[in-house]
Amino acid sequence: MPRALLLAALFAAPAAFHADAALAQTDERETAVENFRQADADGDGALTLSEFTNLIDLNAEDELGRARLIKRSGRYRMAFGRLDADGDARVTPEEIAAVAGGS
């Protein structure tokens, strides 16, 4: 599931250098991937602003990455705009990976 792992890179906490942190990061990635699936209400593999808002809320509940900051500040639209590289009002895992510096 490489696309899913790339997606998780944006929302997971920064990588750490010991075994416990590596396990936690794997769990965070799995949680982020599951949250993306839940947020993608129509199952098309991309998120509208409404779906993205749900993703951020789910990630905030799970304390993933910067989601709590985005939620607390209400900057959903700004975060969405930064990710929506082609301006089609949908955010794909590839767009997320590009911003996250994924490979």
- Range 50-62 average pLDDT: 96
Mean pLDDT of the chain: 82
CB contact at 8 A, 7 and 33 = yes
Predicted confidence at residue 5, as pLDDT, reads: 47
For residue range 59-103, what is the model confidence (pLDDT) as tens digits?
999 998 899 999 999 999 999 999 999 999 999 988 877 886 554
Cα separation, 25 vs 8, in Å, equals 10
pLDDT surpasses 70 at 16: no
pLDDT surpasses 80 at 12: no
| Residue 63 burial (CB count, 10 A) | 11
